[in-house]
Amino acid sequence: MHVMPEKRVKREYMSTSPKSTQEITTEHLSKLLAEVASSRSRRAFSELFKHFAPRLQAFATRQFGNEQTAMDLVQDTMTNVWHKAHLFSPEKGSPTTWIFTIARNIRFDILRKNKHRQNDVSAEDLWPVLSEEMSDSDEEFALDQNILLQEIGEFYRQLPDAQRIVIEQIYIQGKSQQEVSDELDIPLGTVKSRTRLALQKLKEMITAHD
Amino acid sequence: MIKFHPTEELLVKYVQGELDASLCLVIGTHIDMCPVCANTVKDIEEQVARSVFINELQGSASATPAQLPEAEMNMMLEQIISSHAPEKIVREPALEEITLEGKQFKLPPTLGRLGSRLGHWSKVPGSVWRAPVNLSGHDKINLIYMAAGASVPEHTHRGSEATLVLNGSFADEFDCYEDGDFIFLDQQHKHTPQTAQEDCLTLAWLNEPLQFTSGVARLLNPFSNLFFR
Ligand SMILES: [Zn+2]
């Protein structure tokens, strides 16, 4: 069946480039995403970007037939990959699929925004890809917050500096973990683990004091 | 056992985001209820993603990535790395169940996530109740509740109709449908849905108003938007 001639024609604008990028394995892509998530590795992200951006651009140009919209889709998609790599989980699928679903959702929202006004369904309602689930440590937090605000007292001053600063920002200044991560320029994972360690220590101190 | 599933063609379009949001809602809700389709959709996602990022580029000799100008690429890369994190997307908790005629019905997660868009219930003739799920767009989607022994008059469709059984069972001229069954009918099909001993809650999608075809029910045609608004 010859159902694809139209697409073939549209591909003509593509020029040749080395094949090397095609050999990137799923394992390698997963490793790059993990590095972005854990240490915000610019090198790992650049590699991801060089692999996916041109492909996304080709895809989006075919879809929209508009270069500016296509570039917006590439930029939005890769911005989410950079900031939200921690939401990728290899058990749910490959990195390629994860990035495709991000792009699919952004495209879906762009197309609907052209047709409808506000209060519309978002792709994220239909296909949650980037929504933050309440993680265990977040819940731990919610539970601890009540105790802490009253009982934290002066205890937190006794924590090691790295943990004290995180606790100060979150519990005293009311910042989110993400904000602390951005401001102190440390990975979100590190903020989470420092908070967890600090909470453990605080609990011990409070219990010992009682 | 679920007997009726969306066709593979529909599932592919669903994965590609090519369907109206309201039809995506019905199919997504079916997938919540159907492990078979959930698996198929995972496979389709992998395949579609690969065709977007890999296969299409290997498909023919000339099929390699479009070349973004190097400078533009690097500029975008720099912009992204120094950008602020996009706002966290935190969803409101999903609606877990609804109560109708004193009976509780659990909502599958996809439908539950849109629970805040569920409108008021109203009664339509024949022991049938409906409540719209308010999504903007042309197509309409309703929860339809049929009490035991209820029927919707014989009708056909100018467009298409998708029905998903959420709980209970109903029958028409073609078959009997139970929890999780997904039925897609186009304008060629006339049918008369009815319940027997058991009541039935369905999620129904329409892209054009119903056309009532038989006897007295034809008088209902001026009101066919009872099911389409
Ligand atoms: Zn199914």
Complex ipTM: 0.87
The Å distance, Cα A33 to ligand 1 centre, comes to: 32
Q: What is the domain extent for residue A198? A: 134-209
A163 and A192 in a single domain? The answer is yes
A104 and A142 in a single domain? The answer is no
Give the C-alpha separation, A118 to A125, whole Å.
Answer: 15
Would you state the pLDDT for residue B6? 97
Would you state the pLDDT for residue B34? 96
State the CATH number of the domain containing residue A184: 1.10.10.10
Stretch B171-188: mean pLDDT, rounded?
89
Would you state the pLDDT for residue A3? 35
Question: Does residue B54 sit at the A interface (CB-CB below 8 Å)?
Answer: yes
Q: Hey, CA dihedral for A22, A28, A30, A36, is it positive or negative?
A: negative
Give the C-alpha separation, A166 to A176, whole Å.
Answer: 10
> Contact B179/B107 with Cβ under 8 angstroms?
no
Question: What confidence tens digit (pLDDT) does each residue in A87-118 have?
Answer: 998 888 899 999 999 999 999 999 887 766 65
A71 and A101 in a single domain? The answer is yes
Q: How many domains does chain A have?
A: 2
Residues with CB under 5 A from ligand 1 (ion): B 5, 34, 36-37
Would you state the pLDDT for residue A19? 43
User: Within 13 Å of residue A81, how many CA atoms lie on the same side as its CB?
Assistant: 35
Domains (ranges, CATH) in chain B?
8-84 (no CATH), 97-227 (2.60.120.10)
A64 and A84 in a single domain? The answer is yes
Would you state the pLDDT for residue A116? 64
A123 and A156 in a single domain? The answer is no
- Kindly report the nearest CA distance between residue A85 and chain B, in angstroms: 11
Is residue B121 pLDDT above 90, yes or no? Answer: yes
Cβ of B17 within 8 Å of Cβ of A80? The answer is no
* Closest residue to B60, CB basis, from A8, A94, A107: A8
SS3 label, residue B128: strand
Q: Hey, CA dihedral for A95, A101, A106, A110, is it positive or negative?
A: positive
- Binning pLDDT at 50, 70 and 90, where does residue A36 land? very high
Give the C-alpha separation, A10 to A14, whole Å.
Answer: 9
Give the C-alpha separation, A101 to A98, whole Å.
Answer: 5
A150 and A190 in a single domain? The answer is yes
The Å distance, Cα A181 to ligand 1 centre, comes to: 42
DSSP classification of residue B194: B
- Binning pLDDT at 50, 70 and 90, where does residue A1 land? very low
A84 and A173 in a single domain? The answer is no
Give the C-alpha separation, A131 to A23, whole Å.
Answer: 31
Stretch B127-145: mean pLDDT, rounded?
88
**How many CB atoms lie under 10 A from the CB of residue A107?**
23
B109 contact partners, CB below 8 Å, separation of at least 6: B32, B94
A172 and A112 in a single domain? The answer is no
- Kindly report the nearest CA distance between residue A105 and chain B, in angstroms: 7
Q: Which of residues 2-31 of B touch A (CB under 8 A)?
A: 15-17, 21, 24-25, 28
* Closest residue to B110, CB basis, from A15, A126, A132: A126
> Contact B206/B152 with Cβ under 8 angstroms?
no
State the CATH number of the domain containing residue A97: 1.10.1740.10
Q: How far is CA B8 from the centre of its chain?
A: 15
Question: Does residue B89 sit at the A interface (CB-CB below 8 Å)?
Answer: yes
Give the C-alpha separation, B193 to B156, whole Å.
Answer: 11
Percentage of residues of chain B with pLDDT beyond 90 = 52
A62 and A152 in a single domain? The answer is no
AA identity, residue B28: G
Last residue of a domain, one of A81, A114, A130: A130
